[in-house]
Structure 1
Amino acid sequence: MLDPRAPLPFQATVHPEARAARRLTWDSREAGPDVAFVALPGERMHGNAFVERALAAGAPFVLTDLDVPRAVRVADAQAALFAWARAERGRAPLVVGVTGSAGKTTAKSYVAAALDALFMPVFNTMPAIACFLIESGGAGQPLVVEMGIDRVGEMAELVDLVRPDVGVITTIGPAHLEQLGSIEGIAREKGVILRGVDGGPVRALVGAQAAAFYPGVDRYGFGDVTFAGEDLRVTPEGASFSFAGVPVSLPLSSTVQAEAAVLGLVLAREAGVDVADAASRLAGVSVPGGRYRVHRGRFTVIDDAYNASPVAVRAALDALSGWAGADGDGAGRRISVLGRMLELGPTERALHAEVGAYARERADLSFGVGAFAAELGERAFATVPELVGALLAEVRDGDVVLIKASRGISWTPERRAQEGVGLDVVVSALLEARDGPTSA
């Protein structure tokens, strides 16, 4: 429980009616009898505008500078939240921070399973991370935190908040170029996670793809790396390999998942966790929707639509190329359906063309939609509804269909459809056409 009457790492005036909560939120819509509300500054409005709504919903307390019932009143709610998070983080036995241009969420999920750790859900903003640290720091379990950035200086801020004992970089590639400027800039900014606070000690690991950017740092994965899985085999049924003599089997997974599993096993072994026990937990990992989730059936849909960058799309296309059709006899076609990748800066057209050329090599049939449809696929469509109609008319039993694009979650539905982002609607349409409206 989060008790506002317990000693706090900041100065506060606690209202006599304030009571303990189980969770914290900065979204007043999530406030309730067990969920306290933190009133933070926003891009458009300050959270103070929603304090009354949170109180009406029964929030046990509100962290704010306002003099209201059940207030934990502070001079600066955001500074207080971060100070609280740092204090609670200090109670955790091990904290792993994961960043990279692609594969962060997958790595986070596999590391958490191997370590039997607590990990953050999808959101990875500074307030979300702070709330997670406050809620979980005293649980006595390792913590795994996804640390994504899209501007210069942000990783330094995250490292100061999270203070990871282990810093991991999965991949380096063109993503968020509008703010980070270049591949070298991306590598430099993400590399801050390997140095720790004020250059303090941190266990640093990088994936094989990122190794060239960080000479001398221990590498994990397969092949010529410091910590390698052996005898990797990837089929439509999944990936299998061995690590330290322990067999590992990952159903419906690709090389990306296998590399994340190696990372998890490396960290488990170093933490004194039995490798065989860790490997058994890896077999049950379920990543969030939209991240290489395979839906088998009379045709197979690979839902990788949560987000996209050039390095992530290439990895997904590599995985697609290993399929021989959902019926297993090679009769089915491998179909890629790609939409726009966001925040690539002035070189975005060339980067889309490169990815599209790779799709034509790895897939039997390629579709593109939105702003760079012609670059992404041999069959190009201006809008998502047009794409869906053509795709449903084309797909047949035995095919394997990969769906991947950026999200554009702040855009209107109309702009999403026009620009070809957020292709989760295409996944839903395919599954409904294949299985009926009850498909999940």
Structure 2
Amino acid sequence: MVDPFCALPFSAAVHPEARPARRLTWDSREAGPDVAFVALPGERMHGNAFVEQALAAGAPFVLTDLDVPRAVRVDDAQAALFAWARAERARSPLVVGVTGSAGKTTAKSFVAAALDAQFMPVFNTMPAIACFLIELGGSGRPLVVEMGIDRIGEMAELVDLVRPDVGVITSIGPAHLEQLGSIEGIVREKGVILRGVDGRPVRGLVGAQASAFYPGVDSYGFGPVTHAGEDLTVTAQGASFRFAGVPVTLPLAARVQAEAAVLALTLAHEAGVPLPEAAARLAAVSVPGGRYRVHPGRFTVIDDAYNASPVAVRAALDALNGWPGRRISVLGRMLELGPTERDLHAGVGAYARTQADLTFGVGAFAAELGDRAFATVPELTAALLAEVRDGDVLLVKASRGISWTPERRAQEGVGLDVVVRALLAARDAE
């Protein structure tokens, strides 16, 4: 419960008709009888323009500088929101922050399951994280926060807000190069999560792939790492291994999910959670759609279309290579790779040709990504539906281009979730 009459960490005039809310939103369309509205500055408009709409929808209160009914009136709503979030975060017994070039959401999901923690939903913007901390910081349960960045200085801002007790870096690779500039820039900016704030120590952990970039920081995964799983086996049915003598089975999982499980069990052990109990919860983890979600059937579709970077695509191709049957890679454009994007696409495409039996590419770098190259998503989809047969395994992966129009997404070869839906519909119709 978010109570505007509690001891707020900022000066505010609280309207007498304001009342507690179940949660907060900065999107006025989500405001309602249980959802309060925070009027924040936007790229095009200020949230104050939507305060009346939120009140009409029944919002219990609005955080704003306007003098309106049910207002929690402050000088600066954004500064107040972040101050409130820091105060509520301080009430949490444990906060885990997760970043990396790939695998953040998977790691977050597994860590949350092992710790029986509250965790961030898909959106991981500063306002979203602030609302999450305010809503759940006092729940008494650990919190797991995904901390993605795409510009210099953003991680420092996130760390100042979240103040994680544990900082995790899953992987390092070329992603958001247009803003971060280079691999060295990515290493430096993501590494900020391993530093404390105001003298607070942070427990740092990095994935096996990222360990070379952060010498001296404890690592996790398989092989020569600080915290290692043992006897890893990956089949079409899933992944299994042992950790500290405890058997772990992850249905329909690959190595990436197994590494996330090792991270989760490491943190569970350190938090005093019984490992058999944590391992049992890991077996039931279901990551959000588009993140290596396996759809078995007369042919199998691996939906990994939520987003893409070179390191993430290579990991997905490694997983595809372990499947029986005819393996088909379906790859689209990876965004924000800067001036070397053609070379990076070519490198991924060359790797796909070693891991898959058939390679399809779509969009601006279709020929680099696959032997069967298509200019647009509809052309790709038609070709796939004509080619696929029983027993095939198809991996679908690309960036989202979520802010683009559907027409541009189809033309540029991003947002391949539409391809996944078409394949599943065709498979299930027969």
1:379 to 372, 375, 387: 372
Residue of structure 2 equivalent to 1:253: 253
In structure 2, how many angstroms separate the alpha carbons of the residues matched to 1:219 and 1:17?
52
Unaligned runs of 5+ in 1: 326-332
User: How do residues 148-167 of structure 1 correspond to structure 2 at under 5 angstroms?
Assistant: 148-167=148-167
Using the TM superposition, give the Cα deviation of residue 159 of structure 1 relative to its aligned residue in structure 2, in angstroms.
0.3
Q: Which moved more, 1:285-294 or 1:2-11?
A: 2-11
- Alignment: residue pair count: 430
Aligned CA-pair RMSD: 0.8
Matches within 5 A, 1:137-148: 137-148=137-148
Matched, 1:265 2:258: no
Structure 2 distance, partners of 1:188, 1:357, is: 29
In structure 2, list runs of 5 or more residues that go unmatched: none
TM-score, L = length of structure 1: 0.97
Q: Residue 190 of structure 2 aligns with which residue?
A: 190
Aligned with 1:428 (options 396, 400, 421)? 421
Normalising by structure 2, what TM-score?
Answer: 0.99
Query: How far is 1:436 from its partner?
Result: 2.8
Alpha-carbon offset, residue 5 of structure 1:
1.2
Distance 2:237 2:421 in 1: 22
Runs of 4+ in structure 1 off by over 6 angstroms are none
Match of 2:388 in 1: 395
Q: What code does the residue aligned with 2:269 have?
A: R
Match of 1:329 in 2: none
- How far off is 1:198 after superposition? 4.0
Amino acid at match of 1:412: T
Q: How far does residue 197 in structure 1 lie from its aligned partner after superposition?
A: 1.0
Q: Residues 357-372 of structure 1: matches in 2 within 5 Å? A: 357-372=350-365
CA distance in 1, matches of 2:4, 2:156: 29
SS in 1 for 2:112: helix
Structure 1 position 409 matched with structure 2 position 420: no
TM-fit CA distance, 1:7: 1.2
* Residue 16 of structure 1, CA deviation: 1.3
Specify the alignment match of 1:47 in structure 2.
47
CA distance in 1, matches of 2:100, 2:305: 18
Structure 2 SS opposite 1:138: coil
1:19 alignment partner AA? R
- CA deviation map 1:349-381 (0-9, x unaligned): 000000000001100000000111010000000
Give the deviation of 1:199 after TM superposition: 5.2
Question: What is the CA distance between 1:269 and its match in structure 2?
Answer: 0.3
What whole-Å deviation, never above 9, does each CA across 1:370-411 have from its counterpart, x for those lacking one? 111010000000000000000000000000000000001000
> Aligned equivalents of 2:10 and 2:3: distance in 1?
14
Q: Distance in 2 between matches of 1:63 and 1:128?
A: 15
Instruction: Report Cα offsets for 1:57-95 as digits up to 9, x if no partner.
Output: 100000001111111000000000000000000000000
Question: Which residue of 2 is the match for residue 106 of structure 1?
Answer: 106
Question: In the alignment, does 2:9 pair up with 1:16?
Answer: no
SS at match of 1:232: strand
Superposed, 1:167-206 pairs within 5 Å as 167-198=167-198, 200-206=200-206
Question: Which digits, 9 at most, give the CA deviation of each residue in 1:260-281, with x for residues without a partner?
Answer: 0000000000001101100000
State how far apart, in whole Å, the 1-side matches of 2:290 and 2:112 are.
19
SS in 1 for 2:86: helix
Rounded to whole Å, the distance in 1 between the matches of 2:252 and 2:278 is 18
